[in-house]
Amino acid sequence: MISPIKAAEALAIFNGQGAMRMLGARVVEIADGVAEFELDFRDELSQQAGYFHAGVVSTLIDTAGGCAGFTRMPEGSDVLTVEFKINLLAPANGEKIVARGEVIKSGRTLTITQGKVFVYKDGKPTLCALMQQTLIAVARKSNPA
């Protein structure tokens, strides 16, 4: 079970990212070791063929993996992405993508996640990306406010 504080902090990470607002991403779920976000297509999110840009797909799943990992990190941590690797399995051609990150292994310092992105075309999902990610827990800076 995720504590209410951890859940609120994970949500605050999502909400604190200008990039999530720019994309127009929405939270589907944040739970213990899991985060799922979704994003509707619009022209600004496209690559040259009119599909979701691989970078946009990557941004959404990187963030989902990061929030998933954050839920397992020690109190007082902030999360940074050390690295990720993503395979684009199919053109992200559709009206919506849904990115789900899940913790595979969480340690004191490093947390490893996997992620999947589905693209919905006429309501039908297709797996379009697969990600593997390494996160690091760093000491949270005191609130600048």
Which residues form the interface with a copy of itself (CB under 8 A)? 12-13, 16-19, 21-22, 42-49, 53-56, 58-60, 62-63, 66, 78, 80-91, 104-105, 109-110, 112, 114, 127, 130, 132, 134, 136, 141
> Least distance to a copy of itself from the beta carbon of 91, Å?
7
Tokens for 101, please give them: 């990150």
Residue closer to a copy of itself by CB (options 74, 105) is 105
Strands (E), the chain: 26-31, 34-40, 77-88, 96-106, 110-121, 124-139
Q: In whole angstroms, how close is the CB of 27 to a copy of itself at the nearest point?
A: 14
Return all residues near 105 (Cβ < 8 A) that are at least 6 apart.
Answer: 111, 112
To the nearest whole angstrom, how small is the minimum distance from the Cβ of residue 69 to a copy of itself? Answer: 13
Q: Are 66 and 33 in contact (CB under 8 A)?
A: no
C-beta of 29 vs 44, nearer to a copy of itself: 44
CA angle centred on 21, ends 120 and 74, rounded to 5° = 95
